Structure 1
Amino acid sequence: MNDILFERLQRRLGYAFEDSERLRLALSHRSVGAHNNERLEFLGDSILNFIIAQALFDKFPAAREGQLSRLRSQMVKGETLAEIAREFEIGPCLLLGEGEMKSGGQRRDSILADAVEAIIGAIYVEAGMQTCRERVLDWYQTRLATLSLDTPAKDAKTRLQEYMQSRQQPLPDYRVAEVDGEAHAQVFTVECHVSLLDTPERARASSRRVAEKKSAAQALKRLGV
């Protein structure tokens, strides 16, 4: 890994590893061989679920178990973790086998999400639960602050699709308008075409899927949903 990328990532994480090999291991996909991040990922997954569960328990004292479970699922699902990974620009730091690198593994949601969980596991192993909790809650600060018991369980694309179906309208059409940046750090501009709107909604993100969801959310807002 490039040392500059390595240091930059640690600054974004808000944590500097005393043993840099722990971070290297957390970023090592199984395609590099037996010395990979799967064990740290296993540990980090459990720790993340606990930290977020406790945060939700404290934030919503009147919430029922089912409501808390739904919100936790939204917070710890792979898609959310992949978004966090992109915010930290983890992709270019990943250690991948040649085949995985050529197939775009550093942009794949599942690999990015696993790396975030592995980093959580690595921080826990080195610094313990208190430091690990502080880092995770800092990463999730904005998401937790904007979360409410009324937060929809379905994502914007699903909600927009159901809205159009309920009105017997054609389904939304998502088109990639532009792709900028180097292969390892592409930015997608997506247009969401909706028959009930006279102009498409455009959104940019480092993932086509995220850009589609952003444009769908903007379309829902214009539709008054």
Structure 2
Amino acid sequence: MNPPGTQRQVVVLIRGYPGVGKTTVAFALAKELRYCLVCKDDVREAAMRHDANVMAEIRAVCPEQANAIRVDSNDMTYEAMFAVGLTQLKVGAAGVVLESPLGRVALGERAVEITREARALCVLVDCYAERSVWEERLAKRATKRDFRPSSVDQIMNHYSNIEYPMECDAHVSVDCGQPPEENVKKVASVIKQLAADEQDVEHLSSSSSR
């Protein structure tokens, strides 16, 4: 369910460093607006389980070959996330929330590309948190998913810069140290204003063509 006045479909890109709290924001926003939600880590977990099973089978038959194989499911994970999101738009979902670090410019460009393909509005939500809050969250989740970085320094070394500009229709930053409902309210307000601006443009265009 879009905020009142929103007609076009909406893609919300939740971007931020691992562990800052962007998944919490994504879940709260998707639940409040009844948007479809696709989390990159969920897709990657499934891919890694599949890869582990395949590697176990290979190792049982040919250990030497298995030791030489290196599997990187990260790019495939992003493509799967984008594909699922685009399909939800094609079948008429009011909005889609895509949650991931978008750690490279090419990934950000791809995210915008699928939004334009669906002729949807694109809202970028940058998530951040104070270092102390960030470190506490990383410590709590350290044993849950072993493929994710477990320290702020490790994350900063891995991700050179995820705060690159993107050609979205709106951009908002949220402090994940604040209550999720406050961040949801902030993002929903931006979406509503964006929709209102779109309607004003359409109205002016319609009036001038008469």
Greater relative contact order structure (CA < 8 Å, 6+ sep): 2
What range describes the TM-score normalised by the shorter chain of this pair? Answer: under 0.3
TM-score scaled by length of structure 1: 0.22
TM-score scaled by length of structure 2: 0.23
Higher helix fraction (1 or 2): 1
